[in-house]
Amino acid sequence: MTQPSAALLASWATDLFGVTASATLLPGELDWNARLDVEGAPAYVLKVHHPATDPSVLALQDAVLEHVALTAPRVAVPRLLATAGVSFGGHARRARLLEWLPGTVWADAGPPDEARLRALGATVARLDAALAGFDHPALDRPYRWNMRQAAALLGDAPFVDEALRPFVHTTLSRLDELLPALSALPQQAIHNDANEHNVLVGSDSGIAGLLDVGDVVRAPRVCGLAVALAYAQFGQDDPMAAALPVLAGYHAESPVTPQELALLPDLVDVRLAMSVVNAAVQRRSDPGNSYLAISQTAVRGAIESITREPRELREARFRDACGYRPIPRERRIVAWLQSAACDPAPVIDRNLAADPPLVLDWTHTDAATIAAVESKVSASGHTFGLGRYREDRDVYRSDAFAPSQAGGQARTVHLGVDLFVPAGEPVFSPLDGTVRSVAYRSDPYDYGGVVLLEHATDDGEPFWLLIGHLGREIVSSLTPGQRVRRGDRIAWVGVPAENGNWPPHVHVQLFVTLLGRSTDLPGVIERENIDVWESICPDPNVLLRLPVSHVPARDRSKSELARRRRANLAPVLSLSYADPLHIVAGEGAYLIDADGRRYLDLVNNVAHVGHGHPRVVSALAAQAELVNTNTRYLHGTIIEYARRLAATFPDPLSVVILTNSGSEANDLALRMARTVTGREHVLVLDSAYHGNLSSLVELSPYKFNRAGGNGPGPRVRVCELPDAYRGRYGADGPRYATDVAAHCAGAPPAAFLHESILGCAGQIEPAPGYLVAAYAGAREAGALCIADEVQCGFGRVGSHMWAFEAHDVVPDIVTLGKPIGNGHPLGAVVTTPAIARAFQTGMEYFNTYGGNPVSCAAGLAVLDVLRDERLMAHAAEIGAYLTAGMTELATRHSIIGDVRGRGLFLGVDLVEDRNTKRPAAADAAARVVESAREDGVLLSLDGPHGNVLKIKPPLVLTRADAEIALATLDRALAMAGDVTA
């Protein structure tokens, strides 16, 4: 049907909707679409629907848009502004005026990077999640774009190009097989059309919106995901590389189940087949419609590349992208191989369990070194040599191992184990089994003689063993189908002339699936696919049984680490910095990343005496080498440590219980206070943080009053923060404390719990006189006073070992953590003999790890280093220098509202306005931190407004480091757009 002109569409816009605009035609399959520009800027989309469009389908579209706008405003779909009727060529049509969403359609936005692909997946997931609660009768209409009904398209397969017909036929014919599993999944409304013309890319490269709700149907949501995957693969050299991030992005937003993933490869194929058939049918009825031809070239390319990869491998890669084990059977097979039921014979004539091999490192080696390996092994006195599983080998980067596909990655990671013994030695079958295939592969560096044995677990689950680099005679001595018994000699180690030109050895590789292949199985794989292939080909040492596997540590790139982290770590764990750091080492006050870049660490008050302090490291190692046990045995180190620790506290604090973390210490302190007083309530300071256990989240305003928190629970009373900078009583500490007494009225509390300088609240030291008055009020009501020194203890404040000491109070209980073990997990509760006695109710306190000798050795070493290196005095000196420097910076940077803290526990309060003390916007503060990180200095932000720079470095920070820190901060404040005062 002839399309009306743009001018006609513009005149309809005026007549029907009162919009004066110029119109530009947009592509459409059946409908006529135009962009309407008002005063030169795009403002609306006019859609004039095909006369045959079912009115209930138009009603469905209107309802979908309304539902999404109401329930999921974060998901951008165009808003429907008005509808009207129009007549053209004797046909009545519906016209709809929609909001114009700014952005570039995916097809025109250039090659997508990983972030954009992920964002696409996440957007589809969010839209489909919003549609899960939507219902409409037209969702179940007969529709040729509904995958569940796609088998009906088979009848049109003859219209498809001959080249694509087999694919279409096979794919659509399989649908019957898939339907039971598909029908078992929950059905819901899905967008169902995230194709390259319906996805809008925004100016920041994120996804700006999804267009066209004309294909919304009821189906399992995995069908909508399959649509997005199918189209994202268009035009890609490596279609899977595009599909995987889309899937990962979807999964992160709306987790995909293994059942859904089992259908996904087929559903992607089904969607491609549907596109081919539907285009062919429409080309017949509307040969002039150019839109139809647009996607078909891309579809053909995608089909060709996608079908190159075995279906099972595609599913394995999908599973891997979502963090599931790629091949589910691997777990069962490996468990059997490791079980007592499996008793393999040695593959070569050596006692593999007893004779240690010469372990060869072929990571960086050349052909000459490899050729000399035989003499190296015999000269070493070892009875055999071992080539490692999962080793990334330079030698495979040579031309002989060039990738088969242009642009493909080199295959460099070895998937088998190599056993080096002289040529002519016998090779045995480790288990009963069958010869599955046997071949002689004569190319240089290929396998030479190679056999694939099929075995099975006691449950009949098959697995395979590939043994390569054998002699040529194997092709006549073994026949496929032949049974072999455990311990049967099946072959001989090949000579170089027959084994692919390698030094004599056998390559042994395990397979839990053959992916539909025979001996054309890769022994070496691309680095980027190791995660998938180590599930297909697990470490064969489960069968060889060397006492040590010698598998090299996995070395992952930064982007791989980020990807794996997203798939296999809970997303509730956050990463610092927009471009996260990949830290591999630490030294003193510096952290070192994988590229060897050194960062000055002003964040880490855990590595108290310096990252990797040699005295702490050797104390840990020495004790670990002797024994690590628990507190149920007498041990000198725990007694020595308890005495040394207690000696740093004023009377009567002399009794110690060790835990594994600051949180555990606070939890125990609370239990003591509640047991001893017989009360439940606890007084805390506003914005305080006391730990990650449920008992402490409940008492930490920093958690319960912020995102995800449920507000104060029934057992907590929040006291006003005695904040000399922003608090309403200024530096008048005792005045703030009046509310401690007020909170004690009514149900009296078990404890008053406070940090001696509040860290997460933004480095706030209680105003002078506060703690004395607050302790008096709390004790008057019979409550115990607990000082949480987890962040600020161990001499960090410079003037005293413990920060409470600067406030003339002696707590009843003190809790310790973070710096106590210099990074080794350790915590402590220090209390009075009376409280310790009163806590003895008959219920034992046992903590498996708390107070183990290794932890105590670390704790002792920290105390030794603090003393010998005079780090408390050093903290006072460097802290004073930094404070003076930052105070000087404040004369030039008006964003600095306050410089505060003690020793090396400092805070810089960033403000918008010094007079009102209005906190700087969180993103301005974040810019300072990001810019300092670019310059190699690590800072963190905290406080209820996220505007306080925290400075709490390892105490070994030198004066030169402090100078670097100040200079960097100066630049970062300037870069963050601060107006120099």
Q: Please give the residue ranges that form the binding site for ligand PMP (CB under 6 A).
A: 661-663, 666, 689-692, 755, 759-760, 788, 790-791, 817-818
**Closest CB to ligand PMP belongs to which residue?**
662
CB of 666 to ligand PMP, least distance (A): 6
Distance, in Å, from the CA atom of 711 to the CA atom of 700, rounded to the nearest integer, reads 10
CB of 933 to ligand PMP, least distance (A): 21
Taking the least distance from each CB to ligand PMP, the nearer of 849 and 881 is: 849
CB of 691 to ligand PMP, least distance (A): 4
Distance, in Å, from the CA atom of 644 to the CA atom of 301, rounded to the nearest integer, reads 73
Taking the least distance from each CB to ligand PMP, the nearer of 558 and 715 is: 715
Report the Cα–Cα distance between both ends of the chain, in Å, rounded: 69
CB of 693 to ligand PMP, least distance (A): 8
Q: What angle do CA 804, 807, 811 make, to 5 degrees?
A: 45
CB of 790 to ligand PMP, least distance (A): 4
> Locate tokens 């219902």: which residue?
135
Residue 91 sits at φ, ψ, to 5 deg, of -115, 140
CB of 818 to ligand PMP, least distance (A): 6
Burial of 92 (0-12, 13-18, 19+ CB in 10 A): exposed
Question: Which DSSP symbol is given to 153?
Answer: G
Residue 325 sits at φ, ψ, to 5 deg, of -60, 130
Taking the least distance from each CB to ligand PMP, the nearer of 387 and 851 is: 851
Taking the least distance from each CB to ligand PMP, the nearer of 788 and 978 is: 788
Taking the least distance from each CB to ligand PMP, the nearer of 457 and 663 is: 663
CB of 439 to ligand PMP, least distance (A): 58
Give the distance from CA 192 to its chain's centroid.
28
CB of 466 to ligand PMP, least distance (A): 48
Tokens of 955: 């105490």
CB of 661 to ligand PMP, least distance (A): 4
Strands 506-511 and 590-593: unpaired
CB of 663 to ligand PMP, least distance (A): 3
Taking the least distance from each CB to ligand PMP, the nearer of 9 and 603 is: 603
Taking the least distance from each CB to ligand PMP, the nearer of 63 and 673 is: 673
Taking the least distance from each CB to ligand PMP, the nearer of 97 and 760 is: 760
Q: What angle do CA 459, 461, 464 make, to 5 degrees?
A: 135
> Locate tokens 């506060």: which residue?
770
SS3 383: coil
Tokens of 846: 């046992």
Strands 104-105 and 80-88: unpaired
Taking the least distance from each CB to ligand PMP, the nearer of 23 and 951 is: 951
From residue 185, alpha-carbon distances to 138, 221, 270, 765, 816 in Å are: 20, 9, 17, 57, 51
Taking the least distance from each CB to ligand PMP, the nearer of 94 and 818 is: 818
Taking the least distance from each CB to ligand PMP, the nearer of 209 and 907 is: 907
> Locate tokens 């070192």: which residue?
592
Taking the least distance from each CB to ligand PMP, the nearer of 691 and 795 is: 691
CB of 622 to ligand PMP, least distance (A): 25
Tokens of 787: 């000082």
Q: What is the 3-state secondary structure (H, E, C) of 510-523?
A: EECCCCCCCCCCCC
DSSP codes joined into one string, 205-240: SSEEEE---TT-EEEEHHHHHHHHHHHHTTT-SSHH
The CB density around residue 340, as the number of other CB atoms within 10 Å, is 5
From residue 409, alpha-carbon distances to 184, 238, 269, 304, 789 in Å are: 39, 11, 25, 19, 53
CB of 136 to ligand PMP, least distance (A): 50
CA Rg value for the chain: 35
DSSP codes joined into one string, 758-825: BSTTTSBPBPTTHHHHHHHHHHHTT-EEEEE-TTTTTTTTSS-SSGGGGGT---SEEEE-GGGGBTB-
Taking the least distance from each CB to ligand PMP, the nearer of 431 and 761 is: 761
CB of 819 to ligand PMP, least distance (A): 10
In 251-315, which ranges are E strands? none
Taking the least distance from each CB to ligand PMP, the nearer of 454 and 789 is: 789
Taking the least distance from each CB to ligand PMP, the nearer of 207 and 653 is: 653
Which residue type, as a one-letter code, is found at position 937? V
From residue 213, alpha-carbon distances to 60, 144, 278, 745 in Å are: 9, 15, 18, 61
Secondary element (H or E) of residue 58: helix 55-71
CB of 804 to ligand PMP, least distance (A): 13
Contact call for residues 97 and 13 (beta carbons, < 8 A): yes
CB of 295 to ligand PMP, least distance (A): 53
Taking the least distance from each CB to ligand PMP, the nearer of 449 and 691 is: 691
CB of 660 to ligand PMP, least distance (A): 8
